[in-house]
């Protein structure tokens, strides 16, 4: 038998695909809810890409109290770098939506396009990764972390006592994972 060729679909996954088989147990309402959630995630990815391009090209958005506009305009105002990977090891890294470090002040901004309430812990992890990667002690720098969501800005100024335990966990858990990999249990 000669199978049909679908080269344009190779490497992609359909929403109603076999690898995400749970949909066969959904009713009509549940499949609609799941699809809406999937599309919201796609929209969020596109908005993040758009915001990063605006920041890179210094293209401000109209000065309105809208999540995206406030996020982009603030990132431009503070001269931030969009979509910056912060790396400790292959086991622990992440991409900050926007970041800058000047005059002893670390700024990290995060754009949230969904309705699920965001948590500042994500930004604290980015701050810990920054300190580990660039060899800064959290007690020797100031930090301002911002979450942009639901047309509001949440601001958090963590202290060393907030960031040091995260740094310690990253170091400890990375060592545990590295040991497990060396033993061959994670291969």
> Domain total for the chain?
1
Residue 109 resides in a domain: yes
Is 156 in contact with 120 (CB distance < 8 Å)?
A: yes
- One digit per residue, the tens of pLDDT, for the chain of length 187 reads 998 998 998 888 888 888 889 999 999 999 999 999 999 999 999 999 999 999 999 999 999 999 999 999 999 999 999 999 999 999 999 999 999 999 999 999 999 998 888 899 999 999 999 999 999 999 999 999 999 999 999 999 999 999 999 999 999 999 999 999 998 865 5
Find all residues with CB under 8 Å of 74, minimum gap 6, and list them: 80, 109, 146, 148, 153
Full domain range(s) for residue 126: 80-183
The pairing of strands 152-156 and 105-111 is unpaired
Residue 102 resides in a domain: yes
Residue 105 resides in a domain: yes
- Say which DSSP state 5 is in: P
Residue 172 resides in a domain: yes
């Amino acid at each position: 038998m000669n199978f049909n060729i679908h080269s344009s679909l190779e490497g992609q996954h359909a929403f109603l695909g076999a690898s995400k088989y749970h949909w066969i147990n959904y009713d009509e309402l549940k499949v609609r809810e799941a699809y809406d959630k999937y599309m919201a995630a796609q929209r969020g990815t596109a908005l993040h890409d758009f915001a990063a391009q605006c920041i890179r090209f210094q293209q401000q958005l109209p000065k309105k109290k809208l999540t995206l506009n406030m996020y982009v305009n603030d990132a431009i105002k503070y001269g931030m770098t969009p979509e910056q990977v912060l790396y400790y090891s292959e086991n622990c890294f992440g991409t900050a939506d926007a970041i800058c470090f000047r005059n002893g002040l670390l700024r990290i901004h995060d754009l949230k396009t969904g309705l699920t309430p965001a948590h500042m812990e994500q930004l604290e992890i980015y701050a810990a990764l920054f300190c580990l990667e660039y060899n800064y002690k959290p007690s020797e720098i100031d930090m301002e972390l911002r979450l942009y969501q639901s047309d509001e800005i949440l601001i958090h100024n963590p202290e060393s006592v907030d960031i040091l335990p995260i740094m310690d966990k990253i170091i400890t858990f990375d060592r545990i994972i590295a040991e497990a990999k060396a033993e061959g249990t994670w291969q």
